[in-house]
Copies of this chain bind each other. A is one copy, B any other.
Amino acid sequence: MTHLQGMLSSFLGDRLIAGEAGRAPYAQSEGHHVGALPALVAQPVSIDEVCRVVQAAAAEGVAVIGYGAGTSLEGNAAAVTLDTLVVDFSRMNDIVEIAPEDLIAVVQPGVSREQLNEQLRTTGLFFPVDPGANATIGGMIATRASGTTTVRYGNMRDNLLALKVVTASGALIQTGTRARKSAAGYDLTHLFAGSEGTLGLIVEATLRLHGQPEQIVSASWDFESVEGAVDTVIQTIQSGVAVARMELLDTRAMIACNRQSHLGLPECPTLFLEFHGSAAGIAEQLDIVRMLGDTNGGGTLKTATATEERNALWKARHHLLWASRAMVPGAQAWITDICVPISRLAEAISRAETMIEASGLFAPILGHVGDGNFHVFFILQPDDAPSWSKAAAINEAMIDHALSVGGTCTGEHGIGLGKQDALRREIGAPAVDIMRNLKQALDPQGILNPGKIFI
């Protein structure tokens, strides 16, 4: 490690961090998993530097983990051994190119989604994927993230055209082109997307952009029951209405939201919606959705068109994690993530609710319900071991139920450290073996983010 340190500092200078205080933040993320303290942190500023960093690490057989904004939730970027080199992409945050005529942006991995949309504002275009957190694009690709707008615009996979990747040997490859589709060989782009840094380091991405909608209408909508809210969403999806956002917040989530963000909304199961389109198109969508909700115990569909009012709603939604934590001073959060076929969503949420109720835990439910995806935010005191055990049991039961109805153990957070056993249950040992063979083929030394997805 001393040798590696010398070699890296020769070209990184003070962008190689070796002091403990400087390294400590990289052992943490917004999730509940805590990583080992990495031995070194490199902050490259160019693709060439990333290649040299990985080549040096490969020569020494040192583990390499890419790091974005630290917003992952399953320990996806946590070090598992002390002799780990973290590659922090925070200084590679340039927007390389915006090509409005092709609806494309080319970005470095450290660009955050908010930064990208800020830059796009005057172009008439936007990048839709919104996981809530202000994650980096590199991190979002690495975990195949999705979020509030996926129901209409797709997830990171759907909005990704091409990557530049530094391989385990420190070579640079390009996957894909700027064409909107391609049948040219194996789909390397989408193999690296979601591989959590275990197959290569993403150093540049070509993204699909979308036209800013002519009009945007947001809405909050209170329901008598979670079931009524979910059934409204399911029926909307089945009717083919392309609502841009369909988020469920349960009563506990609304209490936390009101307290933190002063929304003054009814404290009952609530849908946060957003409609994109022409004025006439949105009116049509609203008519259909309102009709469906009315038969499912929907209250007042409260629409907002003014930008500030809309932003207030979504800001409250995005702050729900902190709002939930603030309900229990000193508490941490453990956030689950399952995704089921939409026809089984009401059942899945109802089962989670029943278990939470019985456990006595404080655990708001939030769902990207249009995708069949939802989260439980377990709010737990760090030293309350029995409560962590209860949360773990509920998490496992949620996963088992999701798998039993044809769903997945993770809709958007990835496997990381937290869901390796669940992955095996989901796809079976032979398919995990296929993944292991692929890893072995691309990273024979096993230096890229070791210990993740499978062991």
Residues of A within 8 A of B (CB): 99-104, 143-146, 150, 154-155, 157-158, 167, 171-188, 190-191, 193-195, 199, 210-211, 213, 234, 237-240, 278, 280-281, 284, 337, 339-343, 371-373, 402-403, 406-415, 419, 422-423, 426-428, 430-432, 434-435, 437-438, 440-442, 453-454
Contacts and interface: CB of A to CB of B under 8 A. Distances in A.
B427 A183 contact: no
A223 B173 CA distance: 42
A138 to B, nearest CB: 15
Given A157-B187, A185-B194, A453-B186, A180 B430 contact: no
26 contacts: A99-B341, A102-B343, A144-B183, A158-B158, A167-B430, A175-B427, A176-B408, A179-B339, A180-B342, A180-B373, A181-B371, A183-B337, A183-B413, A184-B415, A184-B427, A185-B415, A185-B423, A186-B194, A186-B438, A188-B427, A188-B431, A188-B435, A191-B438, A210-B240, A280-B284, A281-B281
Given A194-B183, A415-B183, A408 B177 contact: yes
Chain copies in complex = 2
Contacts of A240: 210-211, 213
Contacts of A409: 184
B342 A237 contact: no
B188 A190 contact: no
A76 to B, nearest CB: 10
Contacts of A435: 185-186, 188
Given A103-B238, A175-B431, A438-B441, A144 B187 contact: yes
Contacts of A188: 427, 431, 434-435
A356 to B, nearest CB: 22
Most buried by B among A146, A182, A342, A422: A182
A73 B188 CA distance: 23
A442 B434 contact: yes
B182 A339 contact: yes
A415 B187 CA distance: 12
A454 to B, nearest CB: 7
Contact of A178 (B155, B341, B430, B431): B341
Contact of A430 (B173, B184, B210, B410): B173
Contacts of A158: 154, 158
5 interchain residue pairs of minimum CB distance: A211-B240, A441-B441, A178-B406, A101-B343, A182-B408
Contacts of A342: 101-103, 180
A199 B191 CA distance: 14
Nearest to A414: B183
Most buried by B among A171, A372, A434, A438: A434
Contacts of A183: 143-146, 194, 337, 408, 410-415
A187 B453 CA distance: 12
A173 B101 contact: no
A388 to B, nearest CB: 23
B187 A191 contact: yes
A234 B103 CA distance: 11
A95 to B, nearest CB: 17
A413 B234 CA distance: 36
A223 to B, nearest CB: 20
Contacts of A173: 427-428, 430-431, 434
Nearest to A178: B406
A373 B171 CA distance: 31
A434 to B, nearest CB: 6
